[in-house]
Each structure stands twice: as structure tokens, then as C-alpha cells.
Amino acid sequence: MVDIAETSEPRQRTTALSSGATYGRETAVHRLLNQRKSAFTNLQPCRVLCMTWNVNGQLPTEDLSTVLAVDDRSSDVICVGFQELDLSPDTLIRGDSSREILWLEKVKEGLPEDTPYTLLKHVRLVGIMLVVYVRKSLVSMISEVHVGNVSTGIMGMLGNKGGVSVKFNIDMTTIAIINSHLAAHPEMVDRRNQDYRDIYTRMRFSNDEGDSLKGSDIIIWMGDLNYRLLSEDVSGEELRAMAERWEIPLMLKSVLCRYLDLMIVLHCSRF
């Protein structure tokens, strides 16, 4: 559920105050307003589908319709994140890629046929691309659409690793979608953690250099995060069997929470 009517104004006033007593009064007011929220807000569901795919530099040949329509109910927002869209040295240096258009067309072809969608925005950083479509009936409710990107690759500057984001408002709810590709290899745990921190803290959007992820009500983070399960934790066959039985969340809490790096990124205590 996305609360599209709850104002963030009380929270902004609270964080701007320096007086402890006044801060306490404002917090109490905010708490009372939350208790009566149903009297002056309107809750509307918003169904968001996210797909992430490391395409390893391949040309688009797969039909995406089977993954962009997971059941009989169409999504309100469809987000598709690609990594390693183009592995050519020219793309790494110059940033241009002819494959961007090819993959954009492939996503468009895979959209559910029974629901009209509009391309809200797409953003690409070398081989990391995020495409966001919204249901046409929602367009009038959407505002403040902006994009951003952060490079964390070679020397912390090149865009072979990093993240891209599309941030927008649905009525009064601010949503940020992030697609990221973090450092590879099992021994690079600290580097992956730092990539995550850098993307979160350095992300700025096209409308304002001061506009960051911190102002978002909802953040959806996806991508090729490159965190690994060790073979002594669970075998590949066991993992695939658990996925088919939809038991992955239970396994994540019991296994992944033992690793500090995964706790930081996945917040597995929330499962």
C-alpha cells in the first residue's frame, strides 16, 4: 500500500527545530495527527513490479512479456533494471551505447497488452539502465520526475559500477527507484558495502543538487548487488528448490543475517 495523501509537512517542521521542548511538542502533535489520519487522508494501493537483469553484454532476444505480467493483475508501475547492458571499451569511456534503444524497445514490446502504459523516464550510466513505465491512468497524479546517477567503478569514478535512480511523486508520496551494480567477487565485501553507502549518500537528482534520496517516502533498491551465499550455507539445488516453494524469506533471515554486510544492505530483520 502507498499512502498517496499523507503530508510530510509535520515531519519537516519537526526536523528543523532545535529546541528539545518544542521538538517534543511537535512530535506529540505529529503522533496525534497520525492517530486521526483516516479522517483527512485517502489511502490508495499502488502495485509496483520490479525486474532486474544482468544481461552480460548480450543483444536483446528474450521475450519479456512473461516476467512483466506475473499474474492476472496488471501493475501500476513497472521498473526494469539492467546491468552490463554494453561491455564495450568505447561505451565505458564515452558513455554512448547503441544497445540502449534496442533494450528500450524490448521492454516496450514486453509490456502487458491489456493495460496502456506510458514511459515515465529512463536513465543510463554506461551499462546500468533503469526504465520506469506507469499506467496511463496514473499520469495525472505524477509530478516531480527526476533522475540521478552515481559512479563507483574504477577509482570510484567510472560508471562500470554504481547506481541510477528515478524519483517521482504519486500525489503526495515520493518514491525513489534505484538500480545498482555493486563490486564483484566474494572477497570484495567491504567494497560492496562502500558502493552502497556512496550511492545512497551521493545520489543527487536533475532538478536540484540538494535533492537526495533522504527526502523519499519509499525507496525501492534493486540490481546486481553481487553478495554471495557460501556453499556451506546452502547448495544451489537447495536454493532453487526453496525459491520454487517461496521459502526464500525464511532462509534469508536464518542464514543471511549472520553476515554484517548483508544486514546493512538487505535489512533482513524486516523479513
> Lowest-confidence range among 69-73, 113-117, 125-129, 166-170?
69-73
The pLDDT confidence band at residue 10, using thresholds 50, 70 and 90, is very low
Percent of the chain with pLDDT over 70: 78
Nearest to 135 by CA among 114, 152, 118, 155: 118
Q: Which residue has the higher pLDDT, 117 or 12?
A: 117
The pLDDT confidence band at residue 142, using thresholds 50, 70 and 90, is very high
Q: Which grid cell is 192?
A: 560492496
Distance from C-alpha of 80 to C-alpha of 235, rounded to nearest angstrom: 28
pLDDT digits (tens, 9 = 90+) for 235-252: 778 877 877 787 766 666
> Lowest-confidence range among 51-55, 119-123, 189-193?
189-193
| Residue whose cell numbers read 499502488 | 46
pLDDT at 241: 82
pLDDT at 13: 34
3-state secondary structure of 126: coil
pLDDT digits (tens, 9 = 90+) for 47-79: 999 999 999 999 999 999 988 987 788 899 999
Nearest to 205 by CA among 191, 193, 216: 216
Distance from C-alpha of 178 to C-alpha of 134, rounded to nearest angstrom: 16
Mean pLDDT of the chain: 81
